Amino acid sequence: MNIKWRKRIIWRKAGYTADTMSSIMTDLDLSLAQFSLFGSLSTFGGMIGAIFSAKAASAFGNKITLWLADLFCITGWLAIALAKNIVWLDLGRFFVGIGVGLISYVVPVYVAEITPKHVRGAFTFSNQLLQNCGVAIAYYFGNFLSWRTLALIGIIPCAVQVIGLFFIPESPRWLAKKGRDKEFEAILQKLRGKKYDIVPESREIKISVELSKQNSNIGIRGLFRKRYAHQLTIGIGLMLLQQLCGTAGISAYGSTLFKLVGFPARIGMMVLSFIVVPKSLMGLILVDRWGRRPLLMSSAFGLCLSCITLAVAFGVRDVPEFAKIAPIFTFIGILTFTMMFAVGMGALPWIIMSEIFPLDIKVIAGSLVTIANWFTGWIANYCFNFMLVWSPTGTFVISAIVCGLTIVFTWCLVPETRGLTREMSLKPYFSLHSLPKNAKLSNLLIAQQTSGDRKPSPAEEFSPLAEKFNRRLLLGVGSSSVLAIGANFGGITSLLLGLSPEIGRNLKLDVIYPIGGYSRCIDTAEGFEFIYPATWVGDQTLLYRAAEKTERETSLDLPPARNSRRKNVNEPVVAFGPPGSTGELNVSVIVSPVSPGFSIEAFGGPKEVGEAIVRTVTGSGQRKDLKGTLLESNLRQDSERNLKYYELEFKVESPLFRRHNVAVCCANGGRLYTLNAQAPESDWSEVRSEFHTIAKSFNIIS
């Protein structure tokens, strides 16, 4: 994959405002109301830029739109740097807002359109990472440089992006929409690599483009149809919650908050500049490993705790007995808020927005959602100073309530789109059968269905597998809190994950972060868990089937005609393997229904059970070309739950392959659980230790 998107305006307006408030007010003799207007004009300008962002990107392409954004930003920073009165200061701020408003829609959509599905979240999250780099730089240099010099430095990343845009490709989807098929295929091939088969993906893109053309006349009224209500509610709702959670005030007026409680503002801002980037990196790592929903809710939970901490700090600052701890609580609250916002709430609404809208409404819906974000940000930014005058404690209590509502909103409405293509992620909302058809589209659909018989590529075979959500939510909320507290109070989490990995495993922190090189898979639906090498990824086809099953169960449509192909009862529930593997090296779990009275002990001891399993694997003697050899068999017992785990090691050989297997079998509650880890015989010496570690970790949890 040869993705060259590295350029981004990173000089954040929020970081600029946070450090320059007092000096600007003094130099230009501004009132609190005038500075509040100055601080909020960037969000008002962003709203104006957002109105035209999607239309401009659709008409002229992403590159030209970004060049236009750079022009506004450079003009705005120059006006601020040279301002002699409030008029030029406000005009410059407004121009910078327009530029950032254009960027805020174009960048996440562009990145989502050029990246493969299994890394799309991480690449889109990098947008937030680089924004936080800009905040960190502004926080740091704001302690030493004048506000005019700081504004001039803001021109540098804009100029870098102007040059960098010459070296990045246009979006393949935009080229396909414009009918430039040769350029579309050439750029898609360049982005995916010379050896990658782009035919299935290019077909999906062309289908979605054709569908969007049939519905290209949808206007603003068309968005408010019942069929789009869910997506629109999610998009606008997340943007409102993002801006109302308190980030507008903390990011823009962090220095003021420190001064209100007597904490050294310079030290506070410098610490924030150092911590915001590492926490964004954590979000970058987790977004495609963990998923959108758990990460968003964990981030909102951390923000809620942070706002409560700040409310308490401002509530006790005038009480003599607690006056000394108020600055410490304020520092911890702002630090934790900044970290948890960078981990999820900052980027995920934009990532989800770029994934949930189909192409037929993407332009108009994207503009509307972005406008909602900027308008809400403008109101929140302008009102924050006045709310602090009213009641700092009340301000952060309101923010804590909003963060709590974010958790409920995400739980009830927001879908998980990790690992799905942009086209496939729309299936829960749209049915191709209900849309108008034409000959060209029908041919594309037929070709798409035919391609389902092809052998999946290694990348498709082992794309990330989305785990079941319910258990991960509970673990994720607790684990994220431990991570945040550990970062603030002496590295508790580092001890758990580093010096004492077994403690971390007992707490099951490896569900969200690898411990000792292993991650944990927990399936609450079937009731089992095990660990696997952290570098391995999941089988995406299993996720697709689970998503289709969920859609069938919740859909109001008539059920589809029954497929004549018999479902394989031995199909794995989950499977993991190394990226790029052909499938010879993997670990999987099969759950088969058995009679309630079924007992593995009826076969005899561990050896007899192992021999029976090997006979089953090799076709019970019906396949003469397969030979199975049992090498080792042991019994592991869980006396508390009265469960017996039969751990087996065996070989399977044929003229075409030689495999080495480690398996674990356990019967419980009318189901037979079988974990099987297999590898080519030539790789056995390298994976032997890993396979036995996986087998020892397999447990029934239902």
- The DSSP line for 355-413 is HHS-HHHHHHHHHHHHHHHHHHHHHHHHHHHHHHHH-HHHHHHHHHHHHHHHHHHHHHH
Q: How confident is the model at residue 402 (pLDDT cuts 50, 70, 90)?
A: very high
Buried b vs exposed e over 333-369: b needs ≥16 C-beta within 10 Å?
bbbbbbbbbbbbbbbbbbbbbbbbbbbbbbbbbbbbb
Q: Which residues contact 427 (CB under 8 A, 6 or more apart)?
A: 547, 548, 551
Determine contact, residues 297/470, Cβ cutoff 8 Å.
no
d(CA 299, CA 104): 21
Whole-angstrom Cα Rg for the chain: 28
Q: Which of 274, 249, 267 is nearest to 136 (CA)?
A: 274
Sheet holding 586-593, edge to edge: 537-538, 574-577, 586-593, 671-680, 658-668, 643-653, 627-638
Q: Which of 161, 147, 167 is nearest to 77 (CA)?
A: 147
Give domain 13-426's CATH number out of 3.40.640.10, 1.10.1200.10, 1.20.1250.20, 3.40.30.10.
1.20.1250.20
Mean pLDDT is lowest, of 159-168, 246-255, 636-645, for 246-255
* Cut 0.75: pTM above it: no
pLDDT at 553 over 60: no
Q: How confident is the model at residue 121 (pLDDT cuts 50, 70, 90)?
A: low
Choice between 297 and 360, residue whose per-residue pLDDT is larger = 297
Give the pLDDT confidence score for residue 43 in this predicted structure.
74
Q: Is 655 exposed, middle or buried (0-12, 13-18, 19+ CB in 10 A)?
A: exposed
pLDDT at 52 over 50: yes
Q: What angle do CA 661, 665, 666 make, to 5 degrees?
A: 165
Tokens describing residue 512 = 């969200």
What mean pLDDT is predicted for residues 306-334?
Answer: 85
Q: Which of 466, 592, 468, 471 is nearest to 541 (CA)?
A: 466
What mean pLDDT is predicted for residues 278-286?
Answer: 66
Determine contact, residues 364/372, Cβ cutoff 8 Å.
no
pLDDT at 40 over 80: no
d(CA 93, CA 117): 37
List beta partners, residue 588.
Answer: 575, 676
Determine contact, residues 381/18, Cβ cutoff 8 Å.
no
Q: State phi, psi for 645 to the nearest 5 degrees.
A: -110, 120
Which stretch, 62-76, 498-512, 572-586, has highest mean pLDDT? 62-76
Choice between 428 and 81, residue whose per-residue pLDDT is larger = 81
d(CA 57, CA 357): 16
d(CA 140, CA 273): 6
Choice between 269 and 651, residue whose per-residue pLDDT is larger = 651
Determine contact, residues 246/402, Cβ cutoff 8 Å.
yes
